[in-house]
Amino acid sequence: NQELQDVVSRVTKIAEEDHLTKSYNRRYIMDVLSRERAFADRTGRQFSILLFDIDHFKSINDRFGHLVGDQILTDFARRVKAELRGMDTVNATDHKLSFGRYGGEEFIAVLPYTGIQGAELCAERIREVIAADAFIDDFRVTVSVGVAEYQLGETVPQLLTRADQALYQAKRDGRNLVRCSEY
């Protein structure tokens, strides 16, 4: 029985985890968002998302190669997870902070029980942590962040679109910024 449980545990981890960054994969994060939406619709509890995009990442890959890019992605994910873990609270429910790779150099964090103001503070703190310390070989990286709070009745794609619009506003405004979605 223990051997079977170990195999199931390993297969589950493979199915949920991005192999490079060891954060959740997009499929798992989309499931988390669907569950959070259903929970919010039932209870009226708020939640927010943070959509991260590493600034000028394509030029990093083009100039220094994909191995350096992969190391930066891995280190970025590690740093963000460490910051999010510091916020996590002991919670008897299934609703915990989730962080995953959304695609390429984009990542997403799901913040249960968090309104737009708390999510913006969290995003700003993470943005500062990323910009403050060099990555490999004294390489500096910045991140732009889009923040959106779930509005009752909206779909997950609508929520993601609002966060994405805020993210691209941060990019248009000069990068290394946090921008929040308007309702």
Active site residues: 105
Torsion region of 45: left, alpha or beta (phi above 0 gives left; psi -120 to 50 gives alpha): beta
* Spacing of C-alpha 110 from chain mean position: 7
**Of 134, 130, 76, the residue nearest 105 (C-alpha):** 76
Stretch (H or E) spanning 107: strand 106-112
Residue 107 backbone dihedrals phi, psi, to 5 degrees: -130, 160
Residue 18 backbone dihedrals phi, psi, to 5 degrees: -75, 120
Strand order in the sheet with 47-54: 98-103, 106-112, 47-54, 143-149, 178-180
In this structure, which amino acid lies at residue 55?
D
**Separation between Cα atoms, residue 130 and residue 79, nearest integer Å:** 7
